[in-house]
Amino acid sequence: MIENTFGMNIIPENDSERLVALNRYRIMDTPSEASFDNMAKLCTQIFSVPVSLVSLVDAERVFFKANAGMGNAREANRGKSLCALAVLHPEITVFEDALKEPCLIANPNVAGDFGLRFYAGAPLITHDGFLIGTLCIIDQQPRVFTEKESRILAGMATAVMDQIELRSSALEEIENHQVTNGLLSEQKEEMQAVNEELITTNEELISSNKELQTSQEQLISLNRQLADSEARFRNLIKQSPVAIAILQGREMRIDCANDVILRIWGKDDSVVGKNLAVALPEIKGQPFLDLLDEVYTSGKAYFGKEVMLSVVENGISKHMYVNFTYQPFEVEGITKDIMVVASDVTAQVEARIAVEDVNQRLQIAMDASKLGSTEVNLADGVMESTAQFKANYGYREDETFNYPDLFETMFPEHRERVRKLVQEAIATNTVYRAEYPVTWRDGSVHWISAHGRPRYDENGKVNRMVGMTADITESKLFEQRKDDFLSIASHELKTPVTSLKASLQLLDRIKHKPNSAMHIKLIEQSNRSMAKMSVLVDDLLNMNRMSEGQLKLKKTTFTLSEMLNLCCNHVRVEGRYELVISGDMDLRIYADEHRIDQVVVNFVNNAVKYAPDSMKIFLNIEKITGYAKISVRDEGPGIASHILPHLFDRYYRVNHEGQSYSGLGLGLYICSEIIKRHEGRIGVESELNHGSTFWFTIPVNEQQ
């Protein structure tokens, strides 16, 4: 509650709205302003009073916006200030003599030292009707306030109010300005920022322009360089000693081809600009076009080695071998060109093929003759040998076999001789040849034929020995058998010849004497010797015929059993042995009857000769699918299994210890040759002490 000296209500009903209206003007507590001060001063002069105030009535106080004549007072208590009364109604409030006003008696301004006697206050009325303050004049003397003076004061109050309104609008204006200014400055800042950006962008633009210019220049220079280098490249291709062509696009357009490749193609430079398939139609069906297409698709280079190329040159087709490269060139991941680099390797390939051919033949020859080869490192005796070489010494391919091992297998008595031969070959750079027997680890003896040649290093020092060996056991044995045969043949012939010679000499001595028992004995003796000799000579003749391929067959169809019945009469006549014939008695064959008879006779004779105690000799005929099989069985001593495989060999005779059998070791060999020519087979089954069965087969022609 505010202090109220007036003894009446001084707060109007709309005071709070009024205060809102007052505060709208934002004038309270503001410093004094000349326009209001002047108005107050003007009032004191017009109305000749000591005091004039522009007061604004707040909730509890009265603020003096202008004060003329009241010293420094800035405000007064609402309950004491007379202005509080002057804002209660719109008319001017006039107290011509305060002392006569009951409501002012207690007022300190009236009752106090100041001694207020006169007061006239015109309310300051806002445009919307609120009474916010007054323009008042005060005097310490009572006075009369005329109607005219009232109107003047009211007019001046209106002027003050206008001034307040004006001031307020000005304030707003200023504020608006400030806002606008603020906005403007913001915009300005933005503008500035934009401007700065623009500047930067501009700078960037300038710099990128410069860059563009530089790169354009670079591009131009690069293009120039490229053109230069392309020209150089083409020149290089043209002058290259290697065959080169550039093919463009999937259609393989010949963009560039040098003379070397044109020569390979067998074409002139009119093919440049054409597609490869058109320029060389003959390569259709050869691998090249497909390969190029693949390189084009995959972008991966292709290397061809020794590929056969057939082209047509002036209507004549030529074949050659080429090595070539297809190198794709890409632009942005897409193949544009393929560079073809080729070389004609026909000469090399043909030379190699020829060498391979020779090597192959050599290998065949080596394999056929069981030739093994080796290279000996003389420093350490390590040998690099072929499987056959090792086999010749009884070693497996995977076994280590070095120079010392080789000498170890050699018969000791041959070692020094072979060593000397090798040394000699090294000293004279010649080939050494040697034959020597070796003992394999299984104890078997083999003959080796060896020859070798020294090899020299770049300083001319011998460091290796290249050698070849063959297992010549077979031929050695054959030779041996042949030698044996010759001595046997001469020995075998010598006996009947000597005996015949003796008989004839004796006969010669008694030729003029009358016939006697002696004559008969000697003639018989001579005939026996002759018979033996003729058997031997027959064998020799047959042998000779065989080896010269002169054995002609005179084939006829005959019944086997009949042939067997008639053969070997000499045995039957002698009566010592019984020939037992069994089996298919009707079987007929188409063959050389005389030769087949010869085979059977040989078998029977052998049975008599080598199984003399077997009184029965069994002859059997049987038919086995497509073949007639004839076998001759005895119950003699049989033959050892290790001998069996050799029986039909030429000159092979079994060494019958102690006993001597005449024979050249040719009989069974001749038999086997006869049967072979009849496309039959020959064989023997025998076991020691269980007799032997010699057999042969002859094909039977069912139509016969």
Residues that bind ligand ADP (CB under 6 A): 606-607, 610-611, 634, 636, 639, 647, 652-654, 663-669, 692
Residue placing its CB nearer to ligand ADP in the complex, 468 or 604? 604
Residue 432 beta carbon to ligand ADP: minimum distance, rounded to whole angstroms: 39
Residue 636 beta carbon to ligand ADP: minimum distance, rounded to whole angstroms: 5
Residue placing its CB nearer to ligand ADP in the complex, 43 or 601? 601
Q: Is 302 exposed, middle or buried (0-12, 13-18, 19+ CB in 10 A)?
A: middle
Of 236, 665, 335, the closest CA to residue 480 belongs to 665
Residue 643 beta carbon to ligand ADP: minimum distance, rounded to whole angstroms: 7
How many separate helices (H) and strands (E) can be counted in the chain? 18, 23
**How far is Cα 582 from Cα 196, in angstroms, rounded to an integer?**
134
Residue 260, both tokens: 């070397």
Residue placing its CB nearer to ligand ADP in the complex, 103 or 643? 643
Q: Is 73 exposed, middle or buried (0-12, 13-18, 19+ CB in 10 A)?
A: exposed
Residue 679 beta carbon to ligand ADP: minimum distance, rounded to whole angstroms: 21
Residue 474 beta carbon to ligand ADP: minimum distance, rounded to whole angstroms: 18
Q: Find out whether 359 and 350 touch, Cβ atoms under 8 Å.
A: no
* Helix or strand (DSSP H, E) at 432: strand 432-439
Residue placing its CB nearer to ligand ADP in the complex, 394 or 667? 667
Residue 33, both tokens: 């302003």
Residue placing its CB nearer to ligand ADP in the complex, 256 or 674? 674
Q: Any idea what the Cα angle at residue 32 is, between residues 28 and 38, rounded to 5°?
A: 125
Residue placing its CB nearer to ligand ADP in the complex, 70 or 654? 654
Residue 443 beta carbon to ligand ADP: minimum distance, rounded to whole angstroms: 24
Laid out side by side, the sheet with 383-385 consists of 383-385, 371-377, 462-471, 445-456, 432-439
Bridge pairing between strands 131-139 and 51-57: antiparallel
Residue placing its CB nearer to ligand ADP in the complex, 116 or 666? 666
Residue 668 beta carbon to ligand ADP: minimum distance, rounded to whole angstroms: 3
Half-sphere exposure of 27 (CA within 13 A, CB side): 31
Backbone angles phi, psi at 658, to 5 degrees: 80, -40
Residue 608 beta carbon to ligand ADP: minimum distance, rounded to whole angstroms: 9
Q: Find out whether 658 and 589 touch, Cβ atoms under 8 Å.
A: no
Residue 431, both tokens: 């080939």
Residue 463 beta carbon to ligand ADP: minimum distance, rounded to whole angstroms: 52
Residue placing its CB nearer to ligand ADP in the complex, 168 or 662? 662
Residue placing its CB nearer to ligand ADP in the complex, 74 or 646? 646
The strand pairing partners of 623, in sequence order, are: 628
DSSP assigned state of 399: S
**How far is Cα 560 from Cα 630, in angstroms, rounded to an integer?**
9
Residue placing its CB nearer to ligand ADP in the complex, 328 or 636? 636
Sign of CA dihedral 9, 14, 16, 21: negative
Residue 654 beta carbon to ligand ADP: minimum distance, rounded to whole angstroms: 3
Q: Max Cα separation, the chain? A: 238
Q: Any idea what the Cα angle at residue 320 is, between residues 319 and 321, rounded to 5°?
A: 140
